Amino acid sequence: MKQVIAVLIWTLLFVSLGIYSENKIYDFTNKFKHEIELIQKNIEDDKLDKVAIDIKDWSKSWHKEKEIWYKIVDHEYFDDICLSLNILEQSIKYNDKLAALEQIETIKMHLNNILESEKCDLNHIF
């Protein structure tokens, strides 16, 4: 009987930690997705000077907060976001709006992939 209780406690602990981490990853990805959408709107409105500053701020915040999740979550998406961020910064530097918008869509896609890859559902179990 003690073993059954111990197994149930461990199971509840793992499920609780899974739900908690999924909620935190959701908050993390949505925060950055919202900020990158504001940058996208500024690019579309030709506010490239403001965009350059916003991207630097976004980049600093991204590099600081990604370190927490980099060790826990599949880091391939984080590397891809960093690559797209570098291309985005150069696109803004050379006033290439089309390339900048393309990289923003790529970043948003990778943020969605981070969220999807960590979801607790049956599709990721079987």
- Distance between CA atoms of residues 7 and 26, nearest Å: 28
- Give pLDDT tens digits for 5-35: 999 999 999 889 888 988 999 999 999 999 9
Residue position matching structure tokens 């709006």: 97
Q: Cα(30)–Cα(112) distance, rounded to whole angstroms? A: 9
pLDDT, residue 120, reads: 67
Per-residue pLDDT band for 122 (boundaries 50, 70, 90) equals low
Looking at the chain, the whole-number percentage of residues with pLDDT higher than 70 is 94
Helix 97-117 vs helix 2-44: crossing angle, to nearest 10: 170
Residue 61's pLDDT band (cuts 50, 70, 90)? very high
Cβ(42)–Cβ(51) under 8 Å? yes
Question: How many whole angstroms separate alpha carbon 116 and alpha carbon 93?
Answer: 32
Query: What integer pLDDT is reported at residue 126 of this predicted model?
Result: 56
Q: What is the pLDDT of residue 58?
A: 94
Q: Are 124 and 73 in contact (CB under 8 A)?
A: no
Mean pLDDT of 57-76: 88
Delimit the domains of the chain by residue range: 23-124
The predicted pLDDT at position 21 comes to: 87
Please tell me the predicted confidence (pLDDT) of residue 123: 65
CATH topology assigned to domain 23-124: Four Helix Bundle (Hemerythrin (Met), subunit A) (1.20.120)
pLDDT value for 38: 96
- Compute the average pLDDT of residues 77-95: 94
